[in-house]
Amino acid sequence: MKKRIAIFGSTGSIGTQALEVISSNEDKFEVEILTAHSNEKLLIEQARKYKPNAVVIVNEKKYTTVKDELAGTDVKVFAGEASLEEVAAFDTYDMMLAAIVGFAGLKSTLKCIASGKPVALANKETLVVAGDIVMQKAVKKRVPVIPVDSEHSAIFQCLLGETRNKIEKIILTASGGPFLGRKPNFLVNVKKEHALQHPNWTMGAKISVDSATLMNKGLEMIEARWLFNLQPEQIEVIVHPESIIHSMVQFEDGSIKAQMGPPDMKLPIQYALAFPQRIPNDFPRYDFTRSDGLHFEKPDIKTFRNLALAIQALQKGGNVPCVLNAANEIAVYGFLHNRIGFLDMMEIVERAMDKIPFIEKPTLEEYFESDAAARNFAASLIHI
Ligand code: NAD
Ligand code: MG
């Protein structure tokens, strides 16, 4: 029996790489659902190639084009934001790959969990915003949440066979991004073209900017807290510019397990889709004899204040990570549209965290309200 995969966010960096993995393993996987925000051309092309049961184009203006282009095929076409939840409730798929970027991925992932379907989770913002609720629902429904994020996939792999052993701490590795070693006098002038050039990974625009500000690592600390049920002080970040060690777990006896490999997102994607199986592939292999060494240093959280702010949010808990995430999404949007500078992003996040009232144990509704309030406030700061 082939595993039927629903890819939410199929036109993005993770989505397209997942389709490559599926193409190379047609005996194991088939595509059941594809969704995109507005790239109708690519969605149509993917639908013709992979013949899913259904596609969603979120941008309703593109509906007619998608519908017309797929007329004569068996593909059902849906449009609009609400359709994401509608198709997430289908019982015709076996696993969701949650690869939508940002808060926009939360509702469909919750619907998938409510329907009892396993999730391969790339969309880290889902856990940053409402990790307590998402994981509680998953545990209650006995739904596996398998991380796709390379660091979390590494930790997940290191923890296999260790259920009875306590974790002393986890060590999340960070490449440091394109501005490693830079100081504010340099960063004040950088433009999106520089920020989008990541040294080791090719990714979507939002996560590339987050990697450049180190917000990505902060979001990943919060993601790890919920995925692995850790206390904030058990999560450490270390800069490792080569991105060969994807993360590590240190146990109570001081022993450290690391998961390693060349930086290629297809590996954690394939691992999550096929779990618990490992499938052979022809991805590049790491050669230790050709290595120039693996290097490690402390992150510079004074310069890259977003990481310090995320640590604060992690420690405070409640709705603070949700506020941090919402303000950051607006700030990154502003930076990508040349409305604000690189350092302004951190300022906006900090001001939103100061402004939005603290809620210690938010309901899902209160998370949505905090998200909206932080977004509105951040947008008012940059006039969008
Ligand atoms: P991307 O921007 O390349 O793709 C995003 C996808 O989401 C696209 O298919 C887009 O159509 C869809 N989308 C965007 N806004 C939407 C909205 N409002 N409603 C519905 N759909 C929407 O992003 P990406 O780099 O593929 O990242 C996806 C997620 O995976 C992010 O949460 C990111 O943090 C995480 N992730 C990505 C990488 C990577 O290497 N790209 C690595 C680890 C984690
Ligand atoms: Mg990552």
- C-alpha 325/C-alpha 45 separation (Å) is 33
Which pLDDT score, from 0 to 100, does residue 383 have?
83
- C-alpha 351/C-alpha 159 separation (Å) is 38
- C-alpha 79/C-alpha 82 separation (Å) is 8
What does the pLDDT look like over 212-271, one tens digit per residue? 999 999 999 999 999 999 999 999 999 999 999 999 999 999 999 999 999 999 999 999
What does the pLDDT look like over 84-134, one tens digit per residue? 999 999 999 999 999 999 999 999 999 999 999 999 999 999 999 999 999
- Taking each helix axis from N to C end, the angle separating 13-23 and 266-274, rounded to the nearest 10 degrees, works out to 60
pLDDT value at 384 more than 90: no
218 CB near ligand 1 (under 6 Å): no
What does the pLDDT look like over 355-379, one tens digit per residue? 999 999 999 999 999 999 999 999 9
What does the pLDDT look like over 147-202, one tens digit per residue? 999 999 999 999 999 999 999 999 999 999 999 999 999 999 999 999 999 888 88
User: Residue of the nearest CA to atom 36 in ligand 1?
Assistant: 122
User: Residue of the nearest CA to atom 18 in ligand 1?
Assistant: 104
Entry pTM: 0.98
Which pLDDT score, from 0 to 100, does residue 201 have?
82
- C-alpha 33/C-alpha 7 separation (Å) is 6
Mean pLDDT over each residue of the chain, to the nearest integer: 97
Relative to the CA of 150, which ligand 1 atom is closest?
A: 43
203 CB near ligand 1 (under 6 Å): yes
Phi, then psi, of 206 in degrees rounded to 5? -65, -50
What does the pLDDT look like over 241-255, one tens digit per residue? 999 999 999 999 999
- Kindly write down the DSSP assignment for every residue of 244-263, as one continuous string: -EEEEEEETTS-EEEEE--S
362 CB near ligand 1 (under 6 Å): no
Which pLDDT score, from 0 to 100, does residue 275 have?
98
- C-alpha 146/C-alpha 248 separation (Å) is 17
The DSSP bridge pattern shows strands 95-98 and 119-121 to be parallel
**What is the 152 CA–ligand 2 centroid distance (Å)?**
7
**What is the 147 CA–ligand 2 centroid distance (Å)?**
10
Which residue stretches of 188-240 are H helix? 192-195, 205-213, 215-227
**What is the 239 CA–ligand 2 centroid distance (Å)?**
13
Percent of the chain with pLDDT over 90: 98
Asked if 125 and 219 count as a contact pair (C-beta separation under 8 A), the reply is yes
**What is the 11 CA–ligand 1 centroid distance (Å)?**
8
**What is the 34 CA–ligand 2 centroid distance (Å)?**
23
Asked if 80 and 103 count as a contact pair (C-beta separation under 8 A), the reply is no
124 CB near ligand 1 (under 6 Å): yes
The per-residue b/e assignment along 80-118, b for 16 or more CB within 10 angstroms, e otherwise, is: eeebbbebbebeebbbbbbbbbbbbbbbbbbbbbbeebb
**What is the 204 CA–ligand 1 centroid distance (Å)?**
6
What is the arithmetic mean of pLDDT over 24-37?
Answer: 98
Q: How many CA atoms lie within 13 A of 147 on its CB side?
A: 24
Residues 6+ apart with CB under 8 A from 284: 262, 264
79 CB near ligand 1 (under 6 Å): no
**Tokens of residue 314, six digits:** 């992690």
265 CB near ligand 1 (under 6 Å): yes
- Collapsing DSSP to helix, strand or coil, 173 comes out as strand
Percent of the chain with pLDDT over 70: 100
99 CB near ligand 1 (under 6 Å): yes
Which pLDDT score, from 0 to 100, does residue 199 have?
84
pLDDT value at 34 more than 90: yes
Which domains, from first to last, does the chain contain?
3-147 (3.40.50.720), 166-263+299-316 (no CATH)
